[in-house]
Amino acid sequence: MTIRPSWWRLSLAAPLILCLVLGAATAAQAQTYPSKPIRLVLPYGPGGIVDYVGRTLAQKLTEGIGQPVVAENRPGAGGILGTDTVARAAPDGYTLVLMDPAIVINPTLQADVPYDLFKNLQTVSIVSSSPEVLVVSPALPVKTFPELVAYGKANPGKLNFASAGIGTTPHLAGEMFKLRTGIDATHVPYKGIGASYTDMMSGKVQMAFSSIAGALPFTSDNRVRALATTGLKRSSVYPDLPTVAEAGLPGFEVDLWLAVFAPASLPAPVLSRLNAELKKALEAPDLKVALAKVGVEPRGTSPEEGAQFVRADFDKWKEVITDGKIKEN
């Protein structure tokens, strides 16, 4: 019979003890989260879809999660500055970002993105989908999408198109428009799409692919003119407008989806709680009504489904940028 020293038996038990301790700590973390306000970073200025959906969602999350969810605008560099703030934050569930497809576009389009999308960020949930709307200056002598294309071809170099910044979906939609039509147009980036409307009304820029949320205040009183939307079907907000595909560019589609991201290595119980609260908020009837007003359809996915979707959209836009030889300005 072999007699083992007591330290040997303790060494065998150590992993089990460690697992029990960690398990208890994880369970405690799940029960106490959140214990302070949560910060939801919006990486664009006021007036666009990220701002509108972010503030609407923050209010609904506050009602259900038991702590204030504070929406904070941090615009700059096409969403990179605000997103980097979250990528560098502690992975504790108290700093989140609501971001659009620019988050998958920027890493290919720009060489100096300071974070790794797939190593530094965790998809919590895809929040929504919506088309963009193509708007033009009232000073431009066009009233339909085919007239815009004809004008652009007859006046090479005379069209400027605005965007919410380099690498944003409005930017890439404009680049796709150029590629598909062969029109020579100049990209003019702004810190947010809302900031471009003064110049569009005056004719300094002639067109933009805008979020519906950003466009509505200006199209409702004809300060700018809406020509088409970018979904596979017509928008409920602009039912009389054709889609770009209907109007002459078959297969043209741009989905301005939004998703909530957190710093990578978020504890599983915290991730699960956040995902559940987002799904509950997105199912609320009053939130659905609020989003429908600006042509946004709520979604809600698991973190795994969201991560797969983000990877697929990254691959899609990477191909567009590479094939189109689109470069950072």
Alpha carbons 239 and 273: distance in angstroms, whole number: 37
Per-residue model confidence (pLDDT) at position 19 = 41
List Cβ neighbours of 185 (8 Å cut-off, separation of 6 or more).
152, 157, 159, 160, 161, 174, 177, 178, 207
Residue type (1 letter), 33: Y
Alpha carbons 126 and 44: distance in angstroms, whole number: 18
Asked if the model's pLDDT at residue 324 lies above 90, the reply is no
**Strands 38-42, 69-73: parallel, antiparallel or unpaired by DSSP?**
parallel
Alpha carbons 25 and 270: distance in angstroms, whole number: 12
**Strands 38-42, 132-136: parallel, antiparallel or unpaired by DSSP?**
unpaired
Q: What's the average model confidence in pLDDT over 293-317?
A: 95
pLDDT band at 5 (very low <50, low <70, confident <90, very high): low
> Helix 49-65 and helix 268-282: axis angle, to 10°?
110
Q: What's the average model confidence in pLDDT over 198-223?
A: 94
Alpha carbons 145 and 252: distance in angstroms, whole number: 13
Asked if the model's pLDDT at residue 117 lies above 90, the reply is yes
pLDDT band at 160 (very low <50, low <70, confident <90, very high): very high
Q: How far is CA 112 from CA 55, 74, 88, 102, 106, in A?
A: 29, 18, 16, 14, 9
By mean pLDDT, which of 108-117, 292-301, 318-327 is the weakest? 318-327
Alpha carbons 194 and 162: distance in angstroms, whole number: 10
| Residue 4 DSSP label | P
Q: How far is CA 188 from the centre of its chain?
A: 20
Map tokens 């567009």 to a residue.
Answer: 320
Q: Which residues pair with 148 in a beta bridge?
A: none
Share of the chain above pLDDT 70, in %: 90
Asked if the model's pLDDT at residue 21 lies above 80, the reply is no
Of 134 and 175, the structure prediction assigns the larger pLDDT to: 134
Q: What angle do CA 218, 172, 242 make, to 5 degrees?
A: 50
Chain-wide mean pLDDT for the chain? 90
Per-residue model confidence (pLDDT) at position 22 = 43
Per-residue model confidence (pLDDT) at position 18 = 42
Of 126 and 31, the structure prediction assigns the larger pLDDT to: 126
Alpha carbons 220 and 315: distance in angstroms, whole number: 36
Share of the chain above pLDDT 90, in %: 75
Alpha carbons 247 and 309: distance in angstroms, whole number: 28
Quote the pTM value.
Answer: 0.79
Contact 169, 160 (CB under 8 A): no
Q: How far is CA 119 from CA 84, 97, 255, 312, in A?
A: 12, 16, 24, 16
Q: Tens digit of pLDDT for each residue in 30-84?
A: 578 999 999 999 999 888 889 999 999 999 999 999 999 999 999 988 899 999 9
pLDDT band at 134 (very low <50, low <70, confident <90, very high): very high
Structure tokens at 190: 């702004």
How many other CB atoms are found less than 10 A from the CB of residue 245?
17
Alpha carbons 104 and 311: distance in angstroms, whole number: 8
Neighbour-count burial of 177, counting CB atoms closer than 10 A to its CB (0-12 exposed, 13-18 middle, 19+ buried): buried
Q: Which residues pair with 122 in a beta bridge?
A: 262
Q: How far is CA 128 from CA 86, 288, 307, in A?
A: 20, 10, 14
Per-residue model confidence (pLDDT) at position 25 = 47
Q: What's the average model confidence in pLDDT over 275-283?
A: 98
Per-residue model confidence (pLDDT) at position 248 = 95
pLDDT band at 20 (very low <50, low <70, confident <90, very high): very low
Per-residue model confidence (pLDDT) at position 80 = 94
pLDDT band at 221 (very low <50, low <70, confident <90, very high): very high
Per-residue model confidence (pLDDT) at position 23 = 46
